Structure 1
Amino acid sequence: MHSGKGRSSTRRPPLLLLLAGTFGAAVAALPLIYLVVQLGRAGGSDVLGAVLRERTLTLALTSLALSVIVAIGCLILGIPMAWALACVRLPAPGLWRVLAALPLAIPSYLMAFAWVSTRPGLSGFWPLVAIMILACTPYVTLPVAAAFRLADRRTADVARTLGRGPLGAFRAATLPQIAPAALAGALLAALYTLSDFGSPGLLRVQTLTWAVYAAFEGGLNRTLAAATAAVLVVLAITLVLIERVVRARAHRDGAPSARIGPIVRTSATYTRITAMVGMAVVAAFGLGVPGAALWRRGLDSRVAGVDWQRLIQSAITTLGVSVGGAVLAVALGLPIAVLAARHRSRVIAIPESITYLSSGVPGLVVGLSLVFFTLNTVPVLYQTSLALCLAYAVIFLPKAIGSARSAIGQVPEALEDVSRSSGRGPVHTAATVTARLSAPGIATGGLLVAVTAMKELPATLMLLPIGANTLATELWRHTTTTAYAAAAPYAIALVVVASIPAYLLSRAELDGTDD
């Protein structure tokens, strides 16, 4: 007998829910619609010429190589760190969890700023790869640590009894169980790298994102901008589709089983020392160097003077638009999450598929699409905070949907059936049963959107209201002019503001599966 947990209902979804889900998917599809319209306006020969330019192909290969190498590096670094967090009895475990998650609060361009200010003249492809790996590894570490905690260790024990060594048993029994989480994290790292604008700019590596922004800012060739953005989107969507195919195969080959019994952590001295030394080295490069650079530049800024009013206003704006974007993302994504969790069918799955397809669209293209949309349909929204919040919602909508869908799927449908059988209507049941039990997961999705939106740069530069500033844009403005001392207060404030939700996220990800 099914317990009701995780099942998908065969009941027909309410019309209002379908309409709300369709609306959310339509909003998410705006960037794709924008590209189709822009490319349709241009002649086919012009678009083909822009796409097949040697310059465009070179930028595409650079961007793709950067994303793939960073994703592989995050897997190589993140999986051992996740294993250490989940399977090794470490002293002060909370400290190591925070150190593993804290890079989420540091934008990659801030980390690049710290390294460039520490080593003036630092530039090039491989330094950029190293910085992006340090910035993106938590995308792999956090979900894989949770997967390790849920993995069924009986299969590894069986492999050991059959004569396989520790590595052989891990590869045969445990790796297939954590592979879906690892691939999902690697995809996030690859997409983040592909869409990043600030770090390549600071390290003087020209990528597709840089080319799109340059073409847009120049305003002389919108066809080139749209065609280059289309290449960027195709690369991103290709990464999404490849990850989904590989992850589906990993699910079939080794879907994780429910863990039985308490998790057993190793206490071997050599293993504990190795794990602590390795994570300390990663923290030193990913957190220590940026922290020291910010401290040093912060002392310099005391001498140069700090515009406290501008700093406080930027922090308030950052909080306002990021929280607004998170609320909007949850509002747009919740109906889609309910449909995905409770009313699975090929037709009903279309809204969710559209949002995840749109997740491959970088923030730069989202910013371009909303500039186009607001100017041509709702001019009153152009360069307003609402337009920026909408951009955040579109960019990070899959994060809100994923958390909400998982949370709603964990609520047994039997509880909803009992509520309805006692005379409560579907709306009352959804509010008093489903929403109440899934609220923590929904809030986690909103929190993830908020902390990520605080660091978003390209769309913010395009859509920020005239006269307003965020911590990210102020940091970017000062670093592009090499005013490192003036940039330091904004960098420190951004880390402090983003560290709070990042810490809460680390607790949710890593403690949520603890015994």
Structure 2
Amino acid sequence: MIELANRDAQASSATKRPKAPAALWAAGVAVVLPAAIPIVHLLWVVLRPGGFYAGGFTGARLLDLAASTLRLTVAVTVTTLALGVATAWLTTRTDLRGARTWSTVMTLPLVIPSYVGALAMLSASGNGGTLTRLLEAVGLPGLPPLRGFWAAWAALSLWNFSFIHLLTVPVLRRLDPALEDVSRGLGAGRWRTLWRVVIPQLRPALASGGLLVALYVVAEFGAVSMLRYDTFTRTIYTQFAGRLDTGPALFLAGVLTSGALVLVVFQQMARGRAALHGNRPAREVAPVHLGRAGQAAGQTFLGLLAILSLVLPISTMVWWMIRGIQQGNSLLGIVPHTLRSIGISAAAALVVGVAAIPLGVLAARHRNSVVRVMEAVPWLTYSLPHLAVGLAFLVLTVRFARPLYQTTTLLVVVYLAMFLPQALAAVESGLRRVGPQLEEVSRSLGVGPWGTLRRVTIPMMRRSALAGAALVFLSVMKELPATLLLRPTGFDTLPVRIWSATNEVFYSQASFAALALVLVSAAPVYFFVVRDIHD
């Protein structure tokens, strides 16, 4: 009887749910189409009937690329998981002095893209590098140029562990201490309780964080190219830049896309049905007492991480900037690049923020199987390497929409395809915090669907939509590979300027652009990440 009553209630609520206007469906489909284009095209390149064109790539060469990419991905993912969990545990579960400040400091490397970190490593090592000069000043041999696997591993680990830290901190704060009390009551020690009770409860957060880092490494182009470590992305760009035939580069992009989608499937299987976050427990967990030796070890560990990920790169770039000014270079030369980056990022944030509204309303207020598929498409594109997405759009526009090639309009469309989920998640979150009652009252007073959307729905989700747009702005500011492929001639953004100046070994000019990028990116990171990490 109870089950029948529940079914009747669900059927009753379903019948009361307003039907989505046709125009809302049309807008939702139009928003999803740009995200669907690269997935369909890249998978078609690999899976189309009649075989594919590999452009002379042998199976052995593909295996070499896969092995080098996988090696780096596994090494960076394991390292960032270890660093992120360690920093989160120290700053949330112990009596470490200054824990709140340290937790904030551990999020700050987010403002430094990996390719900026790679620039710092290159300009600090080799002949004339800052660390080389310091070592030689005290009679020690200088550092050789930092390149290859170990340099790429260090760069990608140091400037990505903050993602794991951010995901782990709120989960640790919400774990119920009752299970840990039971474990200790049964005789388990502190460390056994940590491994047997605490870590398993972190599995959903660690699976999501590990996937985020793994996809980032697979898609990374700037750092691995600067540090000269061969992965799929570096080889794709080499094939594209070095020959007229785009077939081999497109084939490799399709293979890389297939691998990224496999990673997403594995993450969903590993995550299972567990929720990422639970409710705040009724009581706080008693912090672990570190003692004098533990305090010293914790402070040293966090201090070393802060020096490597923040102090060294920023001080190195400042040194090169001062040296460039002394040699007659002007800071005004970076102003056009900064204005271009801010302008295109603001335009993309506006377009993506507005475009996320119809799909977000469909997902939150009119959810069904069709909407679920529509919502999944942007998330799949979000998981793809940006170089592969950019290459797919390049090939398609050259063949079928030549007037769009190398225009800012195409750039904004590509940014919409790549970063729509950031704004979409924020819009859905804002709508789900507020029930549909106000919208129902509006309709009962005779206001139509569009009037209700304009007067009630959009004002309710305004703050969440602005937060999503700010995340899009930050992501576009730092985006390199797709911008490098598709930008109009002479339209050099800050990341493109960093890339080109580093390749020409103009470290002073690259440092100008890198510092400008860090400064512009710092504000959104502070307001939407650092400020809310302890909430």
The amino acid of 1:260's aligned partner reads: P
Which residue of 185, 200, 209 corresponds with 1:185? 209
SS in 2 for 1:394: helix
**Does residue 108 of structure 2 align to residue 102 of structure 1?**
yes
Deviates more, 1:215-224 or 1:37-46: 37-46
Runs (5+) with no aligned partner, structure 2: 7-12, 127-144
Match of 1:220 in 2: 244
1:137 offset after TM fit, Å?
1.0
Percent of matched pairs sharing the same residue: 32
1:237 offset after TM fit, Å?
0.9
Match of 2:331 in 1: 308
Match of 1:282 in 2: 305
Match of 1:244 in 2: 268
In 2, distance between residues paired with 1:325 and 1:88? 42
**Does residue 530 of structure 2 align to residue 507 of structure 1?**
yes
1:46 offset after TM fit, Å?
3.2
Match of 2:281 in 1: 260
Deviates more, 1:26-35 or 1:494-503: 26-35
CA deviation profile, 1:130-167 (whole Å, cap 9, x unmatched): 21011111211112212223333333333333333333
TM-score (norm 2): 0.86
Cα distance change on mapping 1:358 and 1:372 into 2, 3 Å: same
Query: Are the equivalent residues in 2 in contact too, given 1:196–1:209 (CA < 8 A)?
Result: yes
How many residue pairs get aligned? The number is 502
Match of 1:359 in 2: 382
Query: Are the equivalent residues in 1 in contact too, given 2:94–2:290 (CA < 8 A)?
Result: no
**Does residue 174 of structure 2 align to residue 168 of structure 1?**
no
Match of 1:69 in 2: 75
Cα distance change on mapping 1:317 and 1:149 into 2, 3 Å: same
Query: Are the equivalent residues in 2 in contact too, given 1:321–1:389 (CA < 8 A)?
Result: yes
Query: Are the equivalent residues in 2 in contact too, given 1:100–1:141 (CA < 8 A)?
Result: yes
Match of 2:228 in 1: 204
**Does residue 255 of structure 2 align to residue 231 of structure 1?**
yes
Cα distance change on mapping 1:150 and 1:326 into 2, 3 Å: farther
In 2, distance between residues paired with 1:431 and 1:100? 40
Which residue of 26, 29, 32 corresponds with 2:33? 26
1:204 offset after TM fit, Å?
1.3
Deviates more, 1:453-462 or 1:406-415: 406-415
Query: Are the equivalent residues in 2 in contact too, given 1:404–1:438 (CA < 8 A)?
Result: yes
Which residue of 461, 476, 491 corresponds with 1:438? 461
SS in 1 for 2:368: coil
**Does residue 160 of structure 2 align to residue 136 of structure 1?**
yes
TM-score (norm 1): 0.89
Deviates more, 1:136-145 or 1:329-338: 329-338
Query: Are the equivalent residues in 2 in contact too, given 1:89–1:265 (CA < 8 A)?
Result: no
1:89 offset after TM fit, Å?
5.4
Cα distance change on mapping 1:265 and 1:433 into 2, 3 Å: farther
Match of 1:345 in 2: 368
The amino acid of 2:316's aligned partner reads: A
Alignment RMSD (CA, Å): 2.8
In 1, distance between residues paired with 2:366 and 2:298? 44
1:457 offset after TM fit, Å?
1.0
Cα distance change on mapping 1:411 and 1:178 into 2, 3 Å: farther
Cα distance change on mapping 1:483 and 1:394 into 2, 3 Å: same
1:380 offset after TM fit, Å?
3.0
1:114 offset after TM fit, Å?
0.6
In 2, distance between residues paired with 1:88 and 1:443? 35
Query: Are the equivalent residues in 2 in contact too, given 1:50–1:227 (CA < 8 A)?
Result: no
CA deviation profile, 1:82-118 (whole Å, cap 9, x unmatched): 2333344565556434422221111101101111211
Query: Are the equivalent residues in 1 in contact too, given 2:387–2:482 (CA < 8 A)?
Result: yes
In 2, distance between residues paired with 1:265 and 1:333? 42
Match of 2:498 in 1: 475
1:300 offset after TM fit, Å?
1.1
Runs (5+) with no aligned partner, structure 1: 3-8
1:51 offset after TM fit, Å?
6.0
Query: Are the equivalent residues in 1 in contact too, given 2:360–2:424 (CA < 8 A)?
Result: yes
In 2, distance between residues paired with 1:16 and 1:166? 58
Match of 1:6 in 2: none
**Does residue 89 of structure 2 align to residue 83 of structure 1?**
yes
SS in 2 for 1:44: coil
The amino acid of 1:343's aligned partner reads: H
In 2, distance between residues paired with 1:327 and 1:320? 11
SS in 2 for 1:236: helix
Deviates more, 1:194-203 or 1:429-438: 429-438
**Does residue 125 of structure 2 align to residue 119 of structure 1?**
yes
In 1, distance between residues paired with 2:79 and 2:297? 19
Cα distance change on mapping 1:166 and 1:446 into 2, 3 Å: farther
Cα distance change on mapping 1:183 and 1:489 into 2, 3 Å: same
Query: Residues 414-433 of structure 1: matches in 2 within 5 Å?
Result: 414-421=437-444, 424-433=447-456
SS in 2 for 1:288: helix
In 1, distance between residues paired with 2:177 and 2:460? 29
Match of 1:329 in 2: 352
In 2, distance between residues paired with 1:55 and 1:329? 39
1:375 offset after TM fit, Å?
2.8
Cα distance change on mapping 1:15 and 1:147 into 2, 3 Å: farther
Query: Are the equivalent residues in 2 in contact too, given 1:81–1:279 (CA < 8 A)?
Result: yes
Larger RCO, structure (CA 8 Å, separation 6 or more) = 1
Deviates more, 1:372-381 or 1:466-475: 372-381
Match of 2:474 in 1: 451
Query: Are the equivalent residues in 1 in contact too, given 2:398–2:405 (CA < 8 A)?
Result: yes
1:59 offset after TM fit, Å?
0.8
Query: Are the equivalent residues in 2 in contact too, given 1:176–1:250 (CA < 8 A)?
Result: no
1:264 offset after TM fit, Å?
4.8
